[in-house]
Chains A and B, each alone.
Chain A
Amino acid sequence: AQTVTQSQPEMSVQEAETVTLSCTYDTSENNYYLFWYKQPPSRQMILVIRQEAYKQQNATENRFSVNFQKAAKSFSLKISDSQLGDTAMYFCAFMIWYTGTASKLTFGTGTRLQVTL
């Protein structure tokens, strides 16, 4: 079975600063995807960034980037130039990829990020 661990229940960062959220996972599979989702107070789950396990290059989406260490099974999210609108719960998630077939997401317990003035 796959597990996803987020060891930081809460974090705080000042506006315009950089913050890194940690995530580790455990799997015996070789083909998988990793995700970071954002859940603001509205409860809507929003995809922030996605990483294919077979790609060595770290994914980047504007101010969001990941540090993917496959051997260490680590997948951290870096938010640069933090904005007040980044305040939310952030969930790390894992998906096994079978040939041509996506599967269910396995989520971590989340990190609550507060961006302050």
Chain B
Amino acid sequence: NAGVMQNPRHLVRRRGQEARLRCSPMKGHSHVYWYRQLPEEGLKFMVYLQKENIIDESGMPKERFSAEFPKEGPSILRIQQVVRGDSAAYFCASSRYRGNTEAFFGQGTRLTVV
């Protein structure tokens, strides 16, 4: 049973480009969380999705950031017109159902904006 898969592991983008980060949850998991980790800081919640629904987006910046989790395929975190301040590690976690307190994390995508 494969764990949470995130790709790419490393992503370099120039300022102004778009970044797409993918997260495939564990098999049978239909809930996905995205977190951002700035250098030397803890993880900060961004968004919580269930398939085809956004449950909680209270941590998402209002502009340039969006997330989706379609019925088929991985969850995507999209950052438009990236800026240097977007450089961070982005983690995805999945859980089987809404009441499950144990979320399994992927290895993260390190985004570097040059």
Contact = CB atoms under 8 A, between A and B. Distances in A.
A102 B96 CA distance: 11
A44 B105 contact: yes
Chain A interface category by residue count: 20 to 34
Interface string A80-117: 00000000000100010100111111111110000000
Interface of A: 4, 33, 37, 42-47, 50, 91, 95, 97, 100-110
Contacts of A105: 33, 35, 43, 45, 93, 103
A91 B42 CA distance: 7
A102 B105 contact: no
B107 interface: yes
Contacts of B69: none
Contacts, number: 58
A97 B103 CA distance: 14
Contacts of A97: 101
A42 B48 contact: no
A106 B101 contact: no
B95 A107 contact: no
Contact of B43 (A45, A46, A102): A45
Given A43-B108, A45-B91, A102-B95, A50 B42 contact: no
